[in-house]
Amino acid sequence: MRVVAVGGGHGTAVSLRALRRLATDVTGVVSVADDGGSTGRLRAMLNVAAVGDLRKCLGALADPDNPLTQSFEHRFHVGELNGHAVGNLLLVGLLDATGNLEESVRAVAQVMGVTGSIVPASCEGVVLLASTEDGPTRGQTEVARSSTIRQISVEPANAAAPIAAVEAIERADVVLIGPGSLFTSVLAACVIPGITQALAGTSARKIYVANLRPQVPETSGYSLQDHVDALVRHGVASDVVLVDENSIFAGQACTMPVLLADLAREDGLVHDVQKLAEAVVAQMR
């Protein structure tokens, strides 16, 4: 079975960990729009693509016994390196040396013993743009602070998607969209034109994994239908919505088919990897 997860950050890392339990042909198509924290500092300093979400997703598919995997998330706490993750510095160093984002990610993946592939959603760094009730907003960090987002896009508008990302989606059997921040993570990857087109054209079973709760302030007050409407408004339609049976969204009306399942970790804060894997298998039967 060929499986793909699309999005960014912690949510897509969870999806990848779940999918690697189901298949060895796993691909993560990951947003490069982040401009906060360590990633934002490195982007501002070196004018490179965002690598933070790529770092998280590489770690999700890497060999856990690999020494580099074990240190990839380590952050420095002194001097000019304060706050920077080892993985970010390694990826940015390779990118600065080679000028090729895909090649840099592949090189790190090989060293870390990654099972499957991690591919950036765009061949270059992009800036997230949003149309809100308060006017235009620029940059992922600023967009995430808005509670009235209508539409998002990226700059440059013609940002190219890697062929590897497009082909992975087109030939997939299952595509997981999310979970994660609706606009600044999930849609930040999906609105790259080539990714939008690939999602629309694939024959894969497309599963939107709903968040466990609205994200404040980005989706404050959103219903499950509001999430689905936002995806459709951006050209992303799923075949089914996977919803945690104990979440605020369980039982809400939705125009898309909904599958309820126990998906949350015991603390209720994030999705559980094993439960998500079992839910994906169950809805494929």
pLDDT digits (tens, 9 = 90+) for 13-26: 999 999 999 998 99
pLDDT of residue 56: 95
- The span from the CA of 4 to the CA of 174, in Å, is 6
Cα angle at 46 between 54 and 31, to 5 degrees?
25
Of 40-44, 105-109, 182-186, the least confident: 40-44
Q: Where are the beta strands (DSSP E) in 86-234?
A: 117-120, 127-132, 135-138, 149-155, 174-177, 205-209
Check residues 44 and 240 and name the one with the higher pLDDT.
240
Please report which confidence band the pLDDT of residue 109 belongs to, taking 50, 70 and 90 as the band edges.
very high
User: In this prediction, what percent of the chain has a pLDDT beyond 90?
Assistant: 79
Please report which confidence band the pLDDT of residue 2 belongs to, taking 50, 70 and 90 as the band edges.
very high
* CATH class name, domain 2-284: alpha beta
Residue 285 pLDDT > 70: no
Counting beta carbons within 10 angstroms of the beta carbon of residue 82, is it exposed (0 to 12), middle (13 to 18) or buried (19 or more)? exposed
Q: With CA atoms as reference, report the closest residue to 127 among 117, 114, 137, 118.
A: 137
Domain extents for the chain? 2-284
Residue 141 pLDDT > 70: yes
33-54 mean pLDDT: 84
Please report which confidence band the pLDDT of residue 151 belongs to, taking 50, 70 and 90 as the band edges.
very high
Kindly report each contact of residues 62-66 with a partner whose C-beta sits within 8 Å and lies 24 or more positions away, as own/partner.
62/109, 62/112, 62/113, 62/114, 62/115, 63/112, 63/113, 63/114, 63/115, 66/111, 66/112, 66/113
**pLDDT, tens digit (0-9, with 9 covering 90-100), for 187-234:** 999 999 999 999 999 999 999 999 999 999 999 999 999 999 999 999
Task: Give backbone dihedrals phi and psi of 174, rounded to 5 degrees, phi first.
Answer: -135, 135
Residue 85 tokens, joined: 């993750």
pLDDT of residue 200: 97
pLDDT of residue 183: 97
Check residues 213 and 268 and name the one with the higher pLDDT.
213
Residue 131 pLDDT > 90: yes
Residue 283 pLDDT > 80: no
239-261 mean pLDDT: 96
- Whether 127 and 159 have beta carbons less than 8 Å apart is answered as no
Please report which confidence band the pLDDT of residue 134 belongs to, taking 50, 70 and 90 as the band edges.
confident
Q: What is the mean pLDDT of the chain?
A: 93
**pLDDT, tens digit (0-9, with 9 covering 90-100), for 28-39:** 999 999 988 887
